[in-house]
Structure 1
């Protein structure tokens, strides 16, 4: 069984991840495959796109590309989420498997160890890869650019990876090369090909508790609270209902609220926006005995982070984002790009009693203008930032519905 749950305030709430289980049966000893430089090179620097807090980098597959992938500490084998890549490449020796969640839904996927990849001038041969037959999670639509998948462990385990969120740049070098580390050294654990860190959390007025958290650069939220003291996490009274993610077997419901304090390394953050997934639902999908939650990119981006998987430590250096407050969407709706007509901005979900609902917006409305400017002048990232920009701010949307065009004024509201 391949079950995956990833808390999402990710990609506007759509992302999938795999537990390793059956994949390891197909891929064998996954740790054997590593990226390498040709010749005497030991280091490279390259820019990345930052979209909804996520790191998007170009990858060449079997010499073709580039294809945009998310650089994601939360995945093990490389995952191809957009099956159109299969039409572009001459994959051989693909083995078909059935991927099932906890429900009745079954999805076809392919696994392969016959794929070569390169990131910059670093290459890997026979990288373990899972390829979904259907793009169930619409990563491209929710990010606004064509995204083909996710890559994680094989890259991070091959190099010391310096993620400079402050510069939208990664610098990767062999762990044994001469490296200048910056900031606070913090130990990590590598389990199931993923990094875990200890953090102190104070949810409300109660005392701090020390927990174990997955470091997840592929989730755009700040924090997901999943378990405390072997059971359900108490949720603050001021909260809003939310769709927090997707698993193969369906939607993960829960709440968004603020926790009083999160401490990581020697840095303390207050009033942190956190997700509280329904405990019973995720306890059936995830082994919560091994973690208390998940730290996502909205928190991680406040540091420049140097990952050293092989020696099991990171260095954390607070950057220009460290003092920025944590903010949540103030409009209460999900906007995505129609993949058939890629520049159509459509409304996918609307929260109950949200500013979007109060303004009369509906699911499947098309946004064709924002503040009297054509929507072509905006990216999805622009709209995400606009919709959490300022409490009580008015945003004027030009909307197309049922063959007519009209204007809607949405007053942003800080709901938590």
Structure 2
């Protein structure tokens, strides 16, 4: 009897190990809460890999965890590796990586055993310069397949729910739509109105895109930019290289019965798309600038998306009216002057003591960020003023550039048309000053009055 009991326990234990291997699980609680940073519409969460804490973008558009931007300080004990090729949007098509197996992941109270990890050592694949904070990797499906994932953009947290403990959202504020989980990625049906013509579209849900909507140009289906309302621009970097295309507007974007007016849309150039790797019914992607306007539950197990609008819902859709794209370009030491009290003396010659505080100047050395112009739209007022790619920002609007965070600089560049911006830059050892007004990004395509 005892032997049968031991054998039964061993069988149960081995079954639990089989379930745990390659999967995430919560040991005790029905859910686990993780706070995140929202940077340029992207969700950045802390993840421990083999005991080392790193920063990852939560990206529903990727089917496997990818690690990059490693330094000598990052000791991850990566093992069991073999060469692998990853495919993604970008002109180069694919990139070489190492596939590592047997890794342990930790996300708050969630644990993943025997996880695969794909490591890229190409220094060009690095999100840190564009976001201004250190990013080590991206992760998506491996989390979403094992939990109902709640994303609360308002309060900036995600919560991982055990699927068997989750209760569907049924109040009138919530909507639900079926999602198609295909090849480890989730797709949802929506509608776009272009030139007053409403079109159904199937979109990849992509929390790893900071844009609103991407559409693949399709003349036959009417998925083309307004002929008088678009401009050619740099769209971003994919795993396989830079992506260019057209930026425009749609009259309306509709998700269930929620309507968003004048939403931004981008049409990536066909050379940036590997058609053979695209899901056959897919028309584009749904990105963070729209997703952040909702609080969301992803239920991959049952193929359902629950969502309700939040305080971001009515925010306007803005474009970069400066035409300037700035990157974090390392750090520099700055000598900052500070005053400190040095002595206190009492004047005893008077009945009432007069306290005198003498101060002297001292200095402290601080490490500050460097920002460089890496993209510049040639149709912009900024370009016409004389600014050029490679210029290093020294000052902006009378303040020191290094006192700004990258997202704060972007807020200035995405400001209202007509606002004047003053820039001081360093170019080839010279300090230069420029002034320009934020202009309409679509001006080159506007019809004459």
Query: TM-score over 0.5 for the alignment?
Result: yes
Q: Name the structure 1 match of 2:322.
A: 331
Out of 42, 59, 62, the position equivalent to 2:47 is 59
Q: Name the structure 1 match of 2:430.
A: 404
Contact 1:73–1:195 (8 Å) recurs in 2: yes
Q: Name the structure 1 match of 2:439.
A: 413
Out of 76, 81, 84, the position equivalent to 2:68 is 81
Q: Name the structure 2 match of 1:210.
A: 200
Aligned to 2:280, the other structure's residue is in SS state helix
Out of 328, 338, 348, the position equivalent to 2:374 is 348
Q: Name the structure 2 match of 1:25.
A: none
Report the Cα distance in structure 1 between the residues aligned to 2:231 and 2:80, rounded to whole angstroms. 48
Q: 1:217 to 1:315 in 2, by over 3 A?
A: same
Shift of residue 150 of structure 1?
0.3
Q: Name the structure 1 match of 2:210.
A: 220
Q: Does 1:36 align with 2:25?
A: yes
Q: Does 1:97 align with 2:97?
A: no
Contact 1:227–1:293 (8 Å) recurs in 2: no
Out of 57, 75, 99, the position equivalent to 1:70 is 57
Shift of residue 105 of structure 1?
8.4
Q: Name the structure 1 match of 2:392.
A: 366
What TM-score do the two structures reach when normalised by structure 1? 0.86
Shift of residue 187 of structure 1?
1.0
Deviations 1:223-244 (A, max 9, x none): 0011447668322121111122
Contact 1:226–1:232 (8 Å) recurs in 2: no
Q: Name the structure 1 match of 2:99.
A: 111
Shift of residue 250 of structure 1?
4.3
What TM-score do the two structures reach when normalised by structure 2? 0.80
Aligned to 2:388, the other structure's residue is in SS state coil
Contact 1:85–1:148 (8 Å) recurs in 2: no
Greater Rg, structure 1 or structure 2?
A: 2
* RMSD of Structure 2 on Structure 1 (CA): 2.5
Q: 1:360 to 1:199 in 2, by over 3 A?
A: same
Alignment of 1:286-305 (within 5 A): 286-287=277-278, 289-305=280-296
Report the Cα distance in structure 1 between the residues aligned to 2:144 and 2:274, rounded to whole angstroms. 28
| Structure 2 gap ranges (5+) | 1-17, 333-367, 443-449
Aligned to 2:246, the other structure's residue is in SS state strand
Report the Cα distance in structure 2 between the residues aligned to 1:204 and 1:55, rounded to whole angstroms. 33
Contact 1:334–1:349 (8 Å) recurs in 2: yes
Shift of residue 345 of structure 1?
0.1
Q: 1:104 to 1:412 in 2, by over 3 A?
A: closer
Aligned to 2:251, the other structure's residue is in SS state strand
Shift of residue 381 of structure 1?
1.0
Contact 1:30–1:128 (8 Å) recurs in 2: no
Report the Cα distance in structure 2 between the residues aligned to 1:250 and 1:231, rounded to whole angstroms. 28
Which is richer in strand? Answer: 2
Aligned to 1:343, the other structure's residue is in SS state strand
Q: Name the structure 1 match of 2:358.
A: none
Deviations 1:20-49 (A, max 9, x none): xxxxxxxxx9997221112x2111222100
Q: Name the structure 1 match of 2:251.
A: 260
Q: Name the structure 2 match of 1:147.
A: 135
Shift of residue 376 of structure 1?
2.4
Alignment of 1:138-217 (within 5 A): 138-179=126-167, 181=169, 183-205=174-196, 207-217=197-207
Contact 1:31–1:154 (8 Å) recurs in 2: no
* Greater CA drift, 141-150 or 230-239: 230-239
Aligned to 1:219, the other structure's residue is in SS state coil
Deviations 1:310-363 (A, max 9, x none): 111111110011111111111102100114767110000111211220121111
Report the Cα distance in structure 2 between the residues aligned to 1:41 and 1:162, rounded to whole angstroms. 15
Aligned to 2:115, the other structure's residue is in SS state coil
Report the Cα distance in structure 2 between the residues aligned to 1:30 and 1:239, rounded to whole angstroms. 50
Report the Cα distance in structure 1 between the residues aligned to 2:239 and 2:292, rounded to whole angstroms. 28
Report the Cα distance in structure 1 between the residues aligned to 2:21 and 2:45, rounded to whole angstroms. 23
Shift of residue 87 of structure 1?
5.1
Q: Does 1:133 align with 2:121?
A: yes
Q: 1:404 to 1:159 in 2, by over 3 A?
A: same
Q: Does 1:321 align with 2:312?
A: yes
Deviations 1:212-259 (A, max 9, x none): 100100000000011447668322121111122445664332110111
Q: How many positions carry a matched residue from both structures? A: 385
